[in-house]
Structure 1
Amino acid sequence: MTTNEQAWARAGEWPAEDRMNELETFLWRSERHPRRSSTISVLMMLDTAPDWERLHAAHEWATRLVPRMRSRVLEPAVPVGPPAWVPDRAFDLDYHLRRVRLPAPGAMAGVLAYAQGAAMVPLDRTRPLWEGTLIEGLPGGRAAYFLKLHHTLTDGPGGVQLVSLLQSRRREHTDDKPVAPPRPDPVPDAGRLAADELAEQALALPSAAGKLVSAAAHALTHPESAAGSALRFVGSLRRTVAPWSVPGSPLFRGRTGKSWRFGVLECSLAELGAAGEVAGGSAGDAYLAALLGGMRRYHARHGTDLARMSMTMPLSLHRSDDPMGGNEWAGATVAAPVGVEDAAERIAELRGTALSLRVEPALGSTSVLLPVLNRVPSAVRATVGRLPGAADLSASTFPGAPCETYLAGAKVERTYPFGPLPGVAVMAAMAPHAGTCCVGLTVDGSVVPDLPVLVECMREGLDEVLALART
């Protein structure tokens, strides 16, 4: 079974829950575009313009296979629980799928300029939360496809899975795709949604109370054990919430998040993996070391030296048997070794950090806080969102396509992921595509006025890491 056939077979597993989880609810209710945006996007570079009718038909099929792509968000009449996904009775594919033609010369700079502008336009919160655009007018008849999604639809890995549904392993049309099974069509009702949530909470109350009583009894009968657990949790919290202990970069102070700029990098996946292996790490560790090397160079060019930088690392909590899509991740912010000049040493330290984070008890601490934050007035959530502490850099890695893919007859040559700017100065995301690591940089232009310089420094940091595999 090919990669695409596997994706098609699993598409029916896409989260069928009609309500958001607590993380998705927080992303939805705390969004303040663009500084606190929850828009994620993917840019695919194509060797030619795809057939428009085939592209349209592919979206028609994929949105029926994944009903959430045809659903809008319904808030309960009072915020006693999470919002629900309900069918958009007025769904119009022609609104969500568009095509534009860039003016000459239509080079990569023009594509990125279009993409960063499109990403900053808020999604219509009354419609299904995605938009796809075919970008034509590139030199030599080439084209690009830009897809933007709201983070409540899925996380980064789920976004890659969603994109895979639109692609195939050959230029020719693929027959015999699976047909979407019939699904129930619930009637949207904000009042009923709130009532159902209250009823479910009432049923769950005895169990929750029993757990609370049990925990209190354990603390009273085993005070030393309870105190030890509390101290370990506090220590873990300090290790995974670095912004409170690491001074922020003086270059990135006063960022507003209102001016997004996109940049891209790429390298061989095999070389990046080999570089990581030289230092006892992985391709992901080498990628992070390259970013930090670039950050060190950028700061040095501006006369600033940093020993440590606060860096957020979203960690996927997906398991191999989880359904496609959804949001299953936790974020940890660490004091990254930006001042370590030796690339191998940086990789080794980052490898140790990544391994230790997996067993930190505070990693899932937000699961306790989110249900509370999701039910307080929006003014309180906005105040929490304005608290200091956002990291300077956020870095993510996503699984990608292991082989060549095609979009409606056009070969996909590169796939660049771009994340939002949740208070950070630079968001870096990396996904491999057919042996090439594609890195998308989302940069806050209010504090990085010289994007080409930053990209050049990042490229130098990448070359420094790759050199480990060439010696």
Structure 2
Amino acid sequence: MTASNTLLAPDQAVLWNLERRSPGLHVAGLALVDGEIDRQELLHWMGRLRRLPRFSLRVDGPPYGPPRWRTAPLELDEHLHVVANGDPVSAFDEALGKPLDPRRPLWEFHLAPGYHDGGDALLIKSHLVAVDGLATGDLFHALFASGTTVEEKKAGEPASNGARCGARGAEWLQNWTRIGQDLAAALQELSSEDTRTALLTLNETMPDLALPPVPLPFNRRLGGRRRLIRCAFSYRDIRMIRARLGGALSDVVVALAGGALERYLDLRGVSTRGRSLRVALATDLPERDRKRRSLLPIEVPLSIGAGDRLRTVHQLARLMRTARVAEVLSRLAGVQGAAGPLAAAATAMTSSVRPPFHLTVANANGPQIPQFLAGRPVAGYTPSWPVGYGQGLSCAFFAYNQALHVGVTVDERACPDAGVLPDLFVESLDELLEAAGRTPRRRMRSVSVPIRTAAVS
């Protein structure tokens, strides 16, 4: 259980140190609600988050040692912002690009009345260190699933001034000790047989992984506004593709994204013959009472058939999982976490020049029955994954209520024409359906947020 004054886990510490040089490492979800949401009723529902310790804590990043969780006042009004005037789509995009306030618990809501014809919308934003997975774990269930039991907050007794001073001194000593202990432990794990096997597998399947890939049009210096491009597909079609072609849900969505981005590159005049996408598949590793984050590197071939692409992705991902590559990369994060902000600064600088991956893909399974928010049914939930460090585009997928919701987050400078992406995802899905031996049918629904063309510098 996360508690005040405890250290962030190594993967969390890495993310927090990288945050200092990023436009914001937060995930988000755009919930479309049928009907109008009453502000006071929403505040009442937000009170459920008091049961979750992480949503009542902020992060204290000292100049020495690893960051710690600290208790912070939880004023629900300060975490809820209502879009009163102007274009709600533009307001959400602007909110998506702003970092969270580190002086407060790392989450916030943005409510847009009349966002769509059927009702309101709520943008839910949380930092990666405060949530478990793309679906934001406990946060999603606490808000949407009525009657769900969540982790109860255990508040301790207030400490005296003398006790607090003594605790601070002990923390100072513990920080320096912990740095050496974490580094030694991480290096010991890296010398294990499992690590050698995983690195050997990486070397055999992706021998060029140590070298940065050739940049694509959306791999460049960022600095534009963030945009969230939305579309959704029938989850029945996705299950049918899995059943006939094989692979996990993550394999299908990676192949789906590969097909769409191949078409996007063709439109941009970039040759895809003999090329591939280097994808970082966001992965959650179960660990006691939390999930540890890692990345699974996947090489997605372009200019081949959709069926062959999916089978190649499935075989490579299965090999990587068998070799426990994600666990090993998480151990490397432990080394960087022990090294602290200096290592994060070096990583940020290197990645901004030549990113190690073309893009990050994340996916999560949600409930397949309708959920409710403040007494109103949730019609859809579109996820958003952060961009940054030379990656001007990310893809996130969330399966909810018999639909696969797709959220493509872009930096406007790196990807000014992203409004074409929903149609390209449709074409990619049609190709997968044909490979599965079924006549393609139109998607359940598709919604695109127009992208204003921006000058590329």
Letter in 2 for 1:421: V
Question: Residue type matched to 2:43 in 1?
Answer: H
User: 1:372, CA displacement in angstroms?
Assistant: 4.2
Cα distance in 2 between the residues matched to 1:73 and 1:246: 32
Distance 1:190 1:21, change over 3 A: same
Deviation at 1:114, TM superposition (A): 2.4
Q: How far off its partner does 1:271 sit? A: 0.9
SS at match of 1:310: strand
- How is 1:128-147 mapped onto 2 (pairs within 5 angstroms)? 128-140=105-117, 142-147=119-124
Distance 2:252 2:401 in 1: 19
AA at the equivalent of 1:259: R
Structure 2 partner of 1:50: 37
Matches within 5 A, 1:36-435: 37-60=24-47, 62-76=48-62, 79-80=64-65, 82-88=66-72, 90-101=73-84, 103=86, 110-140=87-117, 142-157=119-134, 159-168=136-145, 180=152, 182-185=154-157, 190-198=168-176, 230=196, 233-236=199-202, 239=205, 244-245=210-211, 247-256=213-222, 258-306=224-272, 307-318=275-286, 322-323=288-289, 326-340=290-304, 342-376=305-339, 378-387=341-350, 388-423=354-389, 424-435=391-402
- Segment drifting more, 371-380 vs 112-121: 371-380
- Are the counterparts in 2 of residues 266 and 438 from structure 1 also a CA contact under 8 Å? yes
Q: How does 1:432-471 map to 2 (within 5 A)?
A: 432-467=399-434, 468=436, 470-471=438-439
The question of whether the paired residues in 2 share the 8 Å contact of 1:34 and 1:257 is answered with no
Equivalent residue letter for 1:381: A
Aligned-pair CA distance for 1:450: 0.7
- Determine the structure 2 residue equivalent to 1:29: 17
AA aligned opposite 2:144: Q
> Could you tell me whether the CA contact under 8 Å between 1:243 and 1:389 is conserved in 2?
no
Distance 1:282 1:368 in 2: 25
Checking the alignment, whether the CA contact within 8 Å between 1:240 and 1:362 is kept in structure 2 is no
How many angstroms apart in 2 are the aligned matches of 1:303 and 1:186?
Answer: 63
Does structure 2 conserve the Cα–Cα contact (< 8 Å) formed by 1:282 and 1:351?
Answer: yes
Larger displacement relative to structure 2 (187-196 or 345-354):
187-196
Alpha-carbon distance, 1:300 to partner: 1.3
5+ unaligned residues in a row in structure 2: which ranges?
Answer: 440-457
Q: Deviations over 1:451-471 (max 9, x none)?
A: 112332223212322343634
The structure-2 alpha-carbon separation of the partners of 1:179 and 1:281, relative to structure 1 and needing over 3 Å to count, comes to closer
CA contact (8 A) 1:269 1:432 kept: yes
Distance 2:132 2:89 in 1: 22
Partners of 2:113 and 2:119 within 8 A in 1: yes
Q: Distance in 2 between matches of 1:128 and 1:28?
A: 13
- Name the larger-Rg structure: 1
**Would you say how many aligned residue pairs link Structure 1 and Structure 2?**
424
Distance 1:181 1:115, change over 3 A: closer
Mapped to 2, the partners of 1:79 and 1:232 lie a distance apart of 33
Tell me if the contact between 1:430 and 1:439 (Cα under 8 Å) persists in the aligned partners: yes
Instruction: Identify if the C-alpha distance between structure 1 residues 231 and 399 changes in structure 2 by more than 3 Å, giving closer, same or farther.
Output: closer
Deviation string 1:283-341 (CA, Å, 9 cap, x unpaired) is: 3322222111111111112222222111111222126xx43xx441211223211221x
- In structure 2, how many angstroms separate the alpha carbons of the residues matched to 1:379 and 1:229? 25
- Residues 161, 248 of structure 1: CA spacing in aligned structure 2 closer, same or farther, 3 A cutoff? farther
CA drift at 1:351: 1.0
| Corresponding position of 1:20 | 8
Q: TM-score normalised to the size of structure 2? A: 0.82
Aligned-partner residue type, residue 55 of structure 1: L
In structure 2, distance between residues paired with 1:382 and 1:178:
36
Residues 37 and 376 in structure 2, CA contact (< 8 A), matched pair in contact too? yes
Secondary structure of the corresponding residue to residue 431 of structure 1: strand
Go from structure 1 to structure 2 and tell me whether the alpha carbon gap of 1:450 and 1:198 turns closer, same or farther (over 3 Å shift).
closer
Q: 1:190 to 1:158 in 2, by over 3 A?
A: farther
Instruction: Work out the CA distance in 1 between the residues paired with 2:35 and 2:250.
Output: 31
**Alpha-carbon distance between aligned partners in 2 of 1:83 and 1:135, rounded to the nearest angstrom:** 34
- Corresponding letter in the other structure for 2:295: G
Secondary structure, counterpart of 1:412 in structure 2 = strand
Equivalent residue number for residue 4 of structure 1: none
Change (3 A) 1:344 1:111: farther
1:101: how far off? 3.4
Pair 461,215 (structure 1): closer, same or farther in 2 beyond 3 Å: closer
How far did 1:255 drift?
Answer: 3.2
For the 8 Å contact 1:96–1:130, the answer to whether it is kept is yes
Q: Structure 1 stretches of 5 or more lacking a match?
A: 1-13, 104-109, 219-225
3-state SS in 1 of match to 2:217: helix
Question: Matched residue of 1:137: which SS?
Answer: strand
DSSP-derived class of the 2:83 partner: strand
One-letter code of the match for 1:87? T
Identical-pair percentage: 22
User: Using the alignment, how far apart are the partners of 2:184 and 2:267 within structure 1?
Assistant: 55
- In the alignment, the residues of structure 2 paired with residue 250 and residue 198 of structure 1 have an alpha-carbon distance, to the nearest angstrom, of 42
Q: Distance in 2 between matches of 1:139 and 1:292?
A: 30
Equivalent-residue separation in structure 2 for 1:159 and 1:133 (angstroms): 16
2:52–2:150 CA contact under 8 A, matched in 1: no
Residues 377, 201 of structure 1: CA spacing in aligned structure 2 closer, same or farther, 3 A cutoff? Answer: closer
The residue identity in structure 2 corresponding to 1:129 is: L
Specify the code of the residue in structure 1 equivalent to 2:278. S
Counterparts of 1:245 and 1:208, CA distance in 2: 27
**Is the CA contact 1:152–1:327 (under 8 Å) kept in the aligned structure 2?**
no
